[in-house]
Structure 1
């Protein structure tokens, strides 16, 4: 297959002004900002430094830095223990270790994360904003599988006016007339602006918390940076919406048990036009994303109002070979472009 450039992608966007171009961001988006912070190696090194004997044994035995593989192995082992009438105590120990690993991963993302929005150089933030606006200005939507705050920071800092994450405030004492200065407004609650939403965190993200009644988005205030407020919630035993299951089926199961995640996933399933990916490698644990893309493509049926094409960014010859190998799994036209030619951060 021909290896295109991001300039070729932009030519397609300009040529097809009546077609929305959507963007799917994977971990490569964050790694392109700073691989020392957002790579699996960095997360692995953080977690292995924790004083947890069971997790240390697990890392030594499974011998991988890919958390998805580790979680999948733990889930499989737990099922096998039950299937063979194994020790209930051992199963409980494995399940508890799996939960601690997921929480440790979340702690690692938070701990390694840049402290606040202004740690990202202004020029890099502006460049990233321009990259993202290419898609929003076409009428497209932004989908991210990343947990961190980078996308949120770029959108807010550069005042990208046409972005909507679906969140808004509700007047809490609306049953009675009160002067404006006495009105009580809620936290940022997801759902108020879902009909015009164009920013979707497919696997959750640090600012989003499920209270059991609603999904709220944490924000910064005059006293604390956003990450500080997120940390305060976590210290109280609240944890962000965060998909950390093993394979694609388990991830989808997690998604379907949360209203916000379900809405985001279904929105990807309903996309029309074209989809561009950056930093997303379509690995063996991403079956649910390929399924969503094929649903959007109406499984290849020649009907209107469908996803017609996908432009997949690759970094290496190995990445390109991988996409060429799985090309037939996509039920729409596949293009491959060199992700290194996209000016995302610098």
Structure 2
């Protein structure tokens, strides 16, 4: 079905929620956010051996390479009793790849919102209004690290059009000890239940200071967020990122961070609502995000709408559709899950060409 048809069909549910994958960012700037683009821009000069890992796997997917290195480091002792040096090097290179991924995203990210046409932001705000405005407004959960969603929420509407009142509470606010600080802080679990935007895997503008989670803002510091992130990374202060290789490793990191775990719990709680529905846009339903996807299979909500980009008969799309049906098959008979697929291109998330 078309996206509009899916939205019409979903009117029978009390709330709509949205889960965003990397296809959301790729649809805006494929030249930057596609793994192939990131790989081409990455600097592997300090760990040149890792390029052989990508080549051996036949991929440019950073998470796949990280997962392979970490798995190999666990397996190697069974075959090479005296391979401690190689094991340590694999673990070191897996950690280095995570940092290279962060550095590459920050280094190639659009500098400021005006680098993206207003028309794209306006189109995206209209898309998000299906989930963050009106009586059906639910939550938007994103697995992306970049700033595109945040920029869209902060962007103004078309001057000649009707304003779009998006709910954009992300759980951050003034530091009660430093209300005039150049950043805002996560308000903690108590004040986070009303949040409608959650970065499930962290993001470029979220930094863990050790005692609290900070959100960098442009309005308080007057310095573009990407520039702030780059300056921090140059000081070896890395943003909150979940770039682990496997789903189990991602889940472990999420459980050890209060903000990430609250987002995970909030997602889970909403998936338990029998009168809600969920849309997925830009996600391949890959196994390395099973810590998220399995919650769909264990949920109580009644309808899942999955975006399919391009020919539905391609191998990748057939795999996505099969995986979605597998999630539905996990359901208890009391809470059956209906799955429909919509044409992702028809959502016009970032407008026309």
Instruction: Give the TM-score normalised by the residue count of structure 1.
Output: 0.88
What displacement does 1:211 show? Answer: 1.5
Q: 1:184 to 1:125 in 2, by over 3 A?
A: closer
Separation (CA, whole Å) in 2 of partners of 1:32 and 1:228: 23
Aligned to 1:268: 267
Separation (CA, whole Å) in 2 of partners of 1:262 and 1:131: 27
Question: Would you say the 8 A contact 1:81–1:87 is kept in 2?
Answer: yes
Aligned to 1:257: 256
Aligned to 1:59: 54
Question: Would you say the 8 A contact 1:166–1:190 is kept in 2?
Answer: yes
Q: 1:54 to 1:323 in 2, by over 3 A?
A: closer
Aligned mate of 1:343, from 320, 343, 348: 348
Aligned to 1:150: 148
Greater displacement, 144-153 / 281-290: 281-290
SS at match of 2:137: coil
SS at match of 1:286: helix
Question: Would you say the 8 A contact 2:185–2:212 is kept in 1?
Answer: yes
Question: Would you say the 8 A contact 1:268–1:293 is kept in 2?
Answer: no
What displacement does 1:48 show? Answer: 5.6
Aligned to 1:211: 209
Separation (CA, whole Å) in 2 of partners of 1:222 and 1:189: 14
Aligned to 2:338: 333
Q: 1:295 to 1:190 in 2, by over 3 A?
A: farther
Aligned to 2:302: 308
Aligned mate of 2:3, from 3, 6, 30: 6
Gaps of 5+ in 2: 158-164, 332-336
Question: Is 1:45 the counterpart of 2:40 in the alignment?
Answer: yes
What displacement does 1:184 show? Answer: 4.9
SS at match of 2:146: coil
Question: Would you say the 8 A contact 1:78–1:94 is kept in 2?
Answer: yes
Separation (CA, whole Å) in 2 of partners of 1:83 and 1:201: 38
- In the TM superposition, 1:216-255 aligns within 5 A as 216-220=214-218, 221-255=220-254
Question: Would you say the 8 A contact 2:19–2:281 is kept in 1?
Answer: yes
* Number of positions where the alignment pairs a residue of Structure 1 with one of Structure 2: 323
Aligned to 2:167: 162
Separation (CA, whole Å) in 1 of partners of 2:22 and 2:201: 12
What displacement does 1:62 show? Answer: 3.0
Q: 1:184 to 1:289 in 2, by over 3 A?
A: closer
Question: Would you say the 8 A contact 2:174–2:180 is kept in 1?
Answer: no
What displacement does 1:222 show? Answer: 4.9
Separation (CA, whole Å) in 2 of partners of 1:112 and 1:185: 28
Q: 1:22 to 1:56 in 2, by over 3 A?
A: same
What displacement does 1:133 show? Answer: 1.2
Gaps of 5+ in 1: 174-182, 298-306
SS at match of 1:140: strand
What displacement does 1:244 show? Answer: 0.9
Aligned to 2:161: none
Aligned to 2:290: 287
Aligned to 1:321: 318
What displacement does 1:50 show? Answer: 3.7
What displacement does 1:295 show? Answer: 3.3
Question: Would you say the 8 A contact 1:190–1:215 is kept in 2?
Answer: yes
